[in-house]
Amino acid sequence: MATAIEIADESGATAVTMKAVGDRLGVTAMALYRHVGNKDGLVDLMLDTTTAEVGLAPGEWEPALRALAWGTREMLKRHPWHAELVHTRPPAGPHQMRRLDFILSVLTAAGTSLPDAMTYAAMVFQHVFGSALQESTEARFNTADDPTAHYAVFVDMRERAAGEMPALFEWLSAPSGPSADERFELVLGFLLDGIASRL
């Protein structure tokens, strides 16, 4: 499991094969099947193990969810492949189940119904995992491609926007905005404010 996580951290989710894990361990791929039933079982263990890196801090619902969201974001920076694989498997690992139970307990203790708590939990994690997936995908393509190619696209967009799309032209003339972490916090704040308004 640790070896599979190491491979994924280095080369991404697609690099994790039973053969690759076996080769790094110095055994045949078939030897791994004594420990996991198949690759899905290995992925389940990888996801649950990295989920366990995020602490659960009891307390008032809003700081508890904010801490969990940010803790998960930091974990996803260490393991970008997690955001890619998390929706391919049911969250049935013990740490994943404890995390979900924690969120549901915190929200229902604050006065929401259990169905609403599940909806709010899903919304928060769609933001957390969706942001991480977008950022890791962009980072991968920016690393793989010639950075000057991206610049050329923006120059072309600016020229085409001139005269017809004044707001876009103005922004492309001097691109600005918050950092990825600042955008993450902004949307998280919108979500938590929305939950608070319904409690």
> Under 8 Å CB-to-CB from 46, ≥6 apart: which residues?
1, 4, 5, 8, 16, 82, 85
> Are the beta carbons of 139 and 192 closer than 8 angstroms?
no
- 175 backbone dihedrals φ, ψ, rounded to 5°: -60, 135
Q: Report if residue 23 sits inside a domain.
A: no
Q: Report if residue 71 sits inside a domain.
A: yes
Q: Report if residue 20 sits inside a domain.
A: no
Q: Report if residue 102 sits inside a domain.
A: yes
Tokens (6 digits) for 130: 């969706």
User: Residue 151 — very low, low, confident or very high, per pLDDT cuts 50/70/90?
Assistant: confident
pLDDT tens-place string over residues 82-110: 999 999 999 999 999 999 999 999 999 99
Task: Note down the domain range covering 111.
Answer: 56-198
> Are the beta carbons of 128 and 115 closer than 8 angstroms?
no
pLDDT tens-place string over residues 140-149: 766 555 666 6
Q: Report if residue 32 sits inside a domain.
A: no
Provide the H-helix boundaries in 80-146: 81-85, 94-109, 114-144
Tokens (6 digits) for 100: 């979900």
Domain count, the chain: 1
CATH of the domain at 182: 1.10.357.10
Q: Could you give the maximum distance between any two Cα atoms of the chain, in Å? A: 66
pLDDT tens-place string over residues 23-65: 999 999 999 999 999 999 999 999 999 999 999 988 999 999 9
Provide the H-helix boundaries in 12-80: 18-25, 29-32, 39-51, 61-78
Which residue type, as a one-letter code, is found at position 123?
A: M
Q: Report if residue 5 sits inside a domain.
A: no
Q: Report if residue 17 sits inside a domain.
A: no
Q: Report if residue 123 sits inside a domain.
A: yes
